């Protein structure tokens, strides 16, 4: 049902357009200046190897586009059923509430993987068409085979999907609090934006490692030789913690909720 909805199909199309726009823009501009910082290093490497279109696109979509896509699906998971009046019929089949909630999150997790894979695959395809392939020069200056570069892209896509699944868990919890899907979607997206705003304030750096969005773009460490996995590990731990926490809250709320619609 998640993938049959035209709204969600449109979201996948939008996500797929991001790497295309990046690749075309770099091709037109000639890639003269990649800029500074991690983002500049990624964009500056695109003209050398098209696979970096995928890395750059994932770097671009994870702060806003992916949370938005996940918030739409997660926010609608339970509240959408309640809004249309089908939730009580589902529970009357009978289907256990824990089982229903688990299936809903599995659907959200699959959606997270699909979003990440779409960006990565489209990025590789358009990158190879416009810039070619060959050995991949990592950000540390060493070169690996194209196959090894694709393996690192697989790791990056998996990291992005795991990170954004935490947003799905938050959205699922919020979805159990209301019967208005739009409110659940907006609240979920608002919470992720708030996390990023707080992460940008240096005066409260002490809480930055505890924010769900702090490690989202840390996958760039996978593109070094050797891989610097300390912060990547912290990011996965943070994502797992938020996922477990909000799934537990969602379960506690949903299993004790008076379902009237």
pLDDT digits (tens, 9 = 90+) for 119-170: 999 999 999 999 988 899 998 889 999 999 999 999 999 999 999 999 999 9
Residues in the chain: 261
Q: What distances in angstroms separate CA 136 from CA 130, 177, 225, one per listed residue?
A: 16, 47, 12
Least confident of 38-52, 193-207, 211-225: 38-52
Q: What pLDDT is recorded for position 170?
A: 97
Q: What pLDDT is recorded for position 41?
A: 86
Biggest CA-to-CA distance, the chain: 62
Tell me the domain boundaries of the chain. Answer: 6-255
Q: What pLDDT is recorded for position 54?
A: 96
DSSP 197-219: HHHT-GGGGGGGGGSTTTTGGGG
Q: What distances in angstroms separate CA 189 from CA 39, 46, 72, 183, one per listed residue?
A: 23, 30, 8, 10
Answer whether 231's CB lies under 8 Å from 218's CB. yes
Least confident of 87-96, 161-170, 245-254: 87-96
pLDDT digits (tens, 9 = 90+) for 29-86: 876 555 667 788 899 899 899 999 999 999 999 999 999 999 999 999 988 888 887 7
CA angle 51–214–211, rounded 5-degree value:
150
Answer whether 79's CB lies under 8 Å from 175's CB. yes
Q: Which residue has the tokens 């890639």?
A: 31
Number of neighbours of residue 225 by Cβ within 10 angstroms:
15
Give 70: exposed, middle or buried? Use CB within 10 Å, 0-12, 13-18, 19+.
buried
Whole-prediction pTM value? 0.93
Which residues, in sequence order, are bridge partners of residue 137? 143
The conformation of residue 223, written as its DSSP 8-state character, comes to G
Q: What pLDDT is recorded for position 258?
A: 65
């Amino acid at each position: 049902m998640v993938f049959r909805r035209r709204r969600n199909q449109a979201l996948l199309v939008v996500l797929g357009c991001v790497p295309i726009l990046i690749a075309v823009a770099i091709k037109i501009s000639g890639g003269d200046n990649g800029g500074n910082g991690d983002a500049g290093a990624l964009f500056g490497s695109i003209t050398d190897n098209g696979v970096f279109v995928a890395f750059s696109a994932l770097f671009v979509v994870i702060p806003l586009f992916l949370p938005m896509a996940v918030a739409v699906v997660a926010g609608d998971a339970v509240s959408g059923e309640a809004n249309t009046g089908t939730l009580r019929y589902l529970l009357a089949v009978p289907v256990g509430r824990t089982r229903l909630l688990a299936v809903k999150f599995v659907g959200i997790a699959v959606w997270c993987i699909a979003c990440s894979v779409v960006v990565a695959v489209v990025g590789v395809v358009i990158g190879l068409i416009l810039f070619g392939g060959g050995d991949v020069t990592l950000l540390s200056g060493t070169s690996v085979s194209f196959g090894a570069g694709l393996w690192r892209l697989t790791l990056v896509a998996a990291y992005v999907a795991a990170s954004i699944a935490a947003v799905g868990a938050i959205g699922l919890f919020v979805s159990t609090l209301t019967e208005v899907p739009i409110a659940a979607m907006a609240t979920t997206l608002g919470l992720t934006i708030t996390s990023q705003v707080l992460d940008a304030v240096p005066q409260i750096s002490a809480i930055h490692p505890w924010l769900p969005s702090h490690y989202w773009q840390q996958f760039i460490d996978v593109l070094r030789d050797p891989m610097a996995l300390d912060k990547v590990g912290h990011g996965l731990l943070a994502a797992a913690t938020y996922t477990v926490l909000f799934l537990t809250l969602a379960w506690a709320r949903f299993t004790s909720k008076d379902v009237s619609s």
